[in-house]
Amino acid sequence: MSSLTLRGVTKRYGSVTAVAGVDFNCAAGEFIALLGPSGCGKSSTMRMIAGLEEISGGEILFGDTVVNDLPPRERNVALAFESYALYSPLTVRENLALPLQGRLPKSEIDKRIAQMTERFELGPLLDRKPGHLSGGQSQRVSLARAIIRDPQVLLLDEPLSHLDHRVRTVIRARIRHIHDQNPETTTIYVTHDQEEAIALADRIIVMNDASFQQVGTVSELWDTPVNQFVGGFLGDPPMNFIDATVEGDALVLAGGTRLAAPASARGARREVVVGIRPDWMEVEAGDTTGDGVIASRVLVNEFQGDRCVVTLESAVGQLKFLADEDFDGQRGDAIALRPLADKIVLFDRETGAALR
C-alpha cells in the first residue's frame, strides 16, 4: 500500500505550461477523481505520475520515496488509456496475460484472466485481436489489462469514454467494487464527466488552466466552492450566478431584488456575485414580489422523470431551478423563488474567489 504525493509538480512543453506547480496528497487506498475540461492538464499530470512524461519541476512520491527518476516499470503502476494501447498482434487473452508473464505461474494467470473475463464481459472476445474489436470492447480490454496486474497505483485516463450508457453504468460500478476489494491499491481516475467523478471518487480534484482549483469531497465542492469556476463546473444544471451589491446587511441583486446578506459579508459596500444552485431555491406561495423573493416567469419546463429542470426569466437574468417531478408550470406562468439564505455563496466580482 502506498500514498501518493505531488509537491510543486510542473510540466512545460517549450513555452507552454501544461501543469503549473500542483500540490496534492492522496492517502493509501484512496480513490481520487481528477476532473476538469479538455486541455486543462489532467492527462499530463497522469502521465507524469506513471513516469511516461518527465517532470519539469517538483517531486512525485510513492510513500516516502521520490520516484522522479524511476522508469514506469519500477513504479508498480498500471494504466488504462482512452486510446486503449493494446498490442495488435496479440489476442485479447494474450494482451491480458502479458503483464503477468514471468511474475506468476500459468494457473494463477488463467485464474486472473477468468476473473477479468467475468467482470468486464469479455468471454466472446478472448480469441479476437484488437483489430476486430469495437471501440467499447477495446476500452473494456484495456481496463481489464490494467487491473489484472494488481498494481500499487492504478491510473485510469478516461477509461469509459467510448462505452454506451448502459455498459458505462455497469462497468463504472464494477471499477468501484474492484477498488473496494483491493484496499492496497490507490486509484487515480481522470475524467471530464462530473457524473463519473461524483459516483466513483472518495475525493475530487477540480483542475483548470493547468492548476488544481480545489480538492475535496463532493459535498465540500458542492456547498463551498473556492471560486466561480468550481461552482459553475460542478452541477447539472450548473450554479446560477447573479451580480449583486452588498449594502449593510442586504444583498441588492440586479433589478433591485433584495436578499439578506450572509453575516460574514455584511458591512461596507462591495460588488459581488451571488451563487445559487438550482436546488437552493423554493417556490414561494402567493405574491411574487417582496424582499427575499425573486419574481420570474417560466420559459421552459423540462420533465426528467424524477425532477423538472425549469428555465426562468427574471429581473436578475435567466435562472435554472430544480423542481419536483409534479411541478406543472407552463411557459409564461409567474413564479416566485425564495433562495435558501443559509446556502448561497458569494464571490468577489473581480477575482471570482469565494468570500468566506
Q: Can you give the three-state secondary structure of 222-280, one letter per residue?
A: HHCCCEHHHHHHCCCCCCEEEEEEEEECEEEECCCCEEECCHHHCEEEEEEEEEECCCC
Q: Give 197-208 as a DSSP string.
A: HHHH-SEEEEEE
Please give the Cα distance from 107 to 261 (Å, whole number). Answer: 67
Phi, psi at residue 116, to the nearest 5°?
Answer: -65, -35
| pLDDT of 143 | 83
| pLDDT of 166 | 83
Q: What angle do CA 71, 74, 79 make, to 5 degrees?
A: 80
Please give the Cα distance from 253 to 251 (Å, whole number). Answer: 6
| pLDDT of 171 | 81
Q: Tell me if 189 sits within 8 A of 156, measured CB to CB.
A: yes
| pLDDT of 262 | 80
Please give the Cα distance from 205 to 216 (Å, whole number). Answer: 7
Secondary structure letter of residue 75 according to DSSP: T
Ranges in the chain, pLDDT < 70: 1, 82-84, 285-290
Q: Which pTM was predicted?
A: 0.86
C-alpha to C-alpha distances, 310 to 5, 119, 240, nearest whole angstrom: 43, 40, 12
Q: Tell me if 196 sits within 8 A of 160, measured CB to CB.
A: yes
| pLDDT of 267 | 72
197-230 residue pLDDT tens: 999 999 999 999 999 999 999 999 999 999 999 9
Q: Tell me if 269 sits within 8 A of 246, measured CB to CB.
A: yes
Residue ranges of domains in the chain, CATH in brackets: 4-233 (3.40.50.300), 240-355 (2.40.50.140)
